[in-house]
Amino acid sequence: MKLSAFLGLAGAIGILFGLEFLLIPELALSQYGVPTEPHNLMQARYFGGTVFAYGLIYWLARKSTDDTTRRALLLVGVLGNGIGLVLSLWSRSAGLQGLLAWLAVGIYAALLLGSLYFLLRPARRD
């Protein structure tokens, strides 16, 4: 897979998940077994807006050929997806989220591994 395709995929995932949490937080929270009280709905919208913005950044920068930009995107991917992975594992093991939290674990793990792969491989243009 080319880096541009990986960034496009990561961007699309971020945009779609971000829009779900931003526009229909009741559905998003209930899928994860999280109560849909007003405070949680507001936090879900904040989360959705942030995930949407990160997804948009990845999507718009997917064809960048600037090495500094690519490295920055991948470093953010490692850090952000690493934190998301740890938090998802913790919330699931603590019983704070339902079984769908394993989907989040899988997505965060795949994006973390992809970011590490492209960050650590020898530089090449694609």
Please report, for the chain, the start and end positions of each structural domain, with discontinuous segments joined by +: 3-120
The H-or-E segment that residue 8 falls in is: helix 3-23
Q: Is the pLDDT of residue 124 over 70?
A: no
Start-end of H helices in 32-66? 38-61
Mean pLDDT score, 79-101: 95
Question: Quick check: pTM over 0.85?
Answer: yes
Cα–Cα distance, 4 to 125 (Å, whole number): 10
Q: Is the pLDDT of residue 125 over 70?
A: no
Say which residue the tokens 């090495």 belong to. Answer: 67
